[in-house]
A and B are shown apart, each in its own frame.
Chain A
């Protein structure tokens, strides 16, 4: 009794009584040995994604399409603008009279794999260029959505209270605006502006593209912002964030180092879902004649142009239609795979 009183004068004292400790036995030591390397969330998700055959095939399809779209035009013998009056509306692998004569003389002529269009332009290269536009639109819109959505959502979620309320009301309103109508409206308005614009980049991209990017920047980030905010709200309550705050980390550092890495699954899933919907919107606008400027082809405008000769040259519709279908399907399936791999709620 008296001895105990002496050692524990103050219950909060940090003085350690060595007699209370004993050496660890072999059995206890064995428990501390790491049997298997700890698997991070990212590694775990990637492993699940690799096991998903459909998602992996989609990924390969996307990579192959991207390689074709970005590399083939570099060494392809035809360009998307070059017209040949003698080679109008050729069927796939058909040669015009002039080309046939060349072949007969023993010269080599690169075949029109997908035929030619009404102006005698090689159709394959136009479809490839259209594919390139679609991919660019998808990737850039995903980037826009990621950047704006993350910044907006994390600020709203981190600060909470009044800031959060006001920011989320704005999101609610934007969310309920009919986006496609606004895209069309802006395209109509920007078309005039682009026509008079001196900037060559804007003129090359065309009214539809510029307005698509503007509208994605203005409207499409809201679902990303909502999800990121929700995620941040729950992460904010975690002990490690409190610890980080106690050490004196700035809000920017906490958001960057602790919160965004923990939102990564939500970000990946939503960005993957964003890409096909952006490609859809672009092709829709191009089909209405609001997309890229002539002579730049887009899968939507190619399909629209094909309507005039639909009865005689159905392949002019089928090639761009097939291309857009493949791209959107592959992105959709990959998106589903990513969702299954990254959504912790579905983990079994």
Chain B
């Protein structure tokens, strides 16, 4: 198992690295296919100034040379200089925004997983009862609501109408609403996943055996069933990361949180190409790595899965 597992991990890692490389290449060449120069949109500048700026940012060299330079710099953690926030490097801005996004995203993710596993298990154990039906209806509704709808409605109800929570992210308690709006969809999804997984496991022979032996109900659920129901939830970690990171673009804008998502949409408004490239690559890398971790963990927790 170990040698096989190691080859699988290495293969999967190489695949992840290749994907990251591809994302960098796609990002770079797409952004360079844009006809406009990042400096042309600003107010009248003489050609000499534009040329000087382009030389400063290295835009006057052939595209392939620029690409390999860019790649080399990224490996050194250098994503270039921001043209929208003059005087800042891209990586500084990204890390500054990531501080907020990570806090919101991490909390939202954990909340979604814990609540989702709990609610899903409860629904499965109360299968067909009223509680199960309520959970099913609510989660079905939640997975049909885009993050921006959820966030604006929460903002409208809890901060504008009821006044219970602040509407801005920088006020005390201001991160509660963004966290809730980001976690509802993954929570509902995890609940549904966990419910069907729990139902599947509860129908297995070893559960019946355990019950037949006279094992206590709580012990059957916590010791025998729960561990085995978690495999599908683990594979959802990667897609959930993708949802939370992209969802934060909308949610951070609605609640004015100075995070990575808001930075990204602002850099689109300022046509700051270096920032757009930097944030895309950064977010994509996070998502790809999370997918990698999810896949490897999946094999760790369920050794029955064929590795070939």
Asked if B149 and A178 make an inter-chain contact with CB atoms under 8 angstroms apart, the answer reads no
Q: How far is the CA of A173 from the CA of B34 in the complex (A)?
A: 25
Asked if B27 and A287 make an inter-chain contact with CB atoms under 8 angstroms apart, the answer reads no
Stretch from A95-103, A232-240, A302-310 contacting the other chain: A302-310
Given contacts A189-B31, A193-B35, A287-B250, contact A176 B16 (CB under 8 A): yes
Asked if A181 and B19 make an inter-chain contact with CB atoms under 8 angstroms apart, the answer reads no
Can you list, as one digit per residue, whether each of B33-60 has a CB less than 8 Å from chain A (1) or not (0)?
A: 1111000000000000000000000000
Asked if B19 and A317 make an inter-chain contact with CB atoms under 8 angstroms apart, the answer reads no
Smallest Cβ distance from B16 to chain A, in angstroms? 7
Can you list, as one digit per residue, whether each of A181-203 has a CB less than 8 Å from chain B (1) or not (0)?
A: 11011101100110010000000
Smallest Cβ distance from B144 to chain A, in angstroms? 4
Asked if B22 and A325 make an inter-chain contact with CB atoms under 8 angstroms apart, the answer reads no
A130 interface residue (CB < 8 Å to B): no
Stretch from B172-180, B205-213, B276-284 contacting the other chain: B276-284
B15 interface residue (CB < 8 Å to A): yes
Which of A178, A300, A324 touches B287 (beta carbons < 8 Å)?
A178
Given contacts A178-B288, A276-B144, A287-B250, contact A317 B22 (CB under 8 A): no
Residue of A nearest to B265 (CB): A288
List residues of chain B with CB within 8 A of the CB of A304. 148
Smallest Cβ distance from B46 to chain A, in angstroms? 22
Which of B145, B156, B264, B288 touches A317 (beta carbons < 8 Å)?
B156
A321 interface residue (CB < 8 Å to B): yes
B96 interface residue (CB < 8 Å to A): no
| Residue from the set A193, A289, A310, A332 with the largest chain B CB neighbour count within 10 Å | A310
Given contacts A283-B146, A287-B148, A317-B153, contact A189 B141 (CB under 8 A): no
Residue of B nearest to A314 (CB): B156
Residue of B nearest to A317 (CB): B152
List residues of chain B with CB within 8 A of the CB of A306. 152
Q: How far is the CA of A188 from the CA of B254 in the complex (A)?
A: 20
B160 interface residue (CB < 8 Å to A): yes
B249 interface residue (CB < 8 Å to A): yes
Given contacts A178-B284, A283-B146, A307-B254, contact A332 B246 (CB under 8 A): no
In B246-281, which residues have CB < 8 Å from any A CB? Answer: 246, 249-250, 253-254, 264-265, 268, 276, 280
Asked if A303 and B152 make an inter-chain contact with CB atoms under 8 angstroms apart, the answer reads yes
B225 interface residue (CB < 8 Å to A): no
List residues of chain A with CB within 8 A of the CB of B265. 288-289
In B137-170, which residues have CB < 8 Å from any A CB? Answer: 140-141, 143-149, 152-153, 155-156, 160
A280 interface residue (CB < 8 Å to B): yes
Main secondary structure of the interface of A (DSSP, over half): helix
Q: How far is the CA of A341 from the CA of B16 in the complex (A)?
A: 37
In A289-337, which residues have CB < 8 Å from any B CB? Answer: 289-290, 300, 303-304, 306-307, 310-311, 314, 317, 321, 324-325, 328-329, 332-333
A172 interface residue (CB < 8 Å to B): yes
B18 interface residue (CB < 8 Å to A): yes
Smallest Cβ distance from B40 to chain A, in angstroms? 10
List residues of chain A with CB within 8 A of the CB of B141. 325, 329
Which of B140, B149, B287 touches A332 (beta carbons < 8 Å)?
B140
Q: How far is the CA of A276 from the CA of B146 in the complex (A)?
A: 10
Given contacts A192-B36, A329-B140, contact A303 B16 (CB under 8 A): no
B131 interface residue (CB < 8 Å to A): no
Asked if A284 and B147 make an inter-chain contact with CB atoms under 8 angstroms apart, the answer reads yes
B291 interface residue (CB < 8 Å to A): yes
In B18-35, which residues have CB < 8 Å from any A CB? Answer: 18-19, 22-23, 26-27, 30-31, 33-35
| Residue from the set A182, A287, A324 with the largest chain B CB neighbour count within 10 Å | A287
Asked if A324 and B31 make an inter-chain contact with CB atoms under 8 angstroms apart, the answer reads no
List residues of chain A with CB within 8 A of the CB of B156. 310, 314, 317
A12 interface residue (CB < 8 Å to B): no
List residues of chain A with CB within 8 A of the CB of B249. 184, 288
B135 interface residue (CB < 8 Å to A): no
B234 interface residue (CB < 8 Å to A): no
Q: How far is the CA of A267 from the CA of B37 in the complex (A)?
A: 44
Asked if A173 and B242 make an inter-chain contact with CB atoms under 8 angstroms apart, the answer reads no
Q: Return 12 A-B CB contacts under 8 Å, by A number.
A: A180-B246, A181-B246, A181-B287, A182-B26, A185-B30, A189-B31, A189-B34, A290-B268, A300-B148, A307-B152, A325-B144, A329-B144
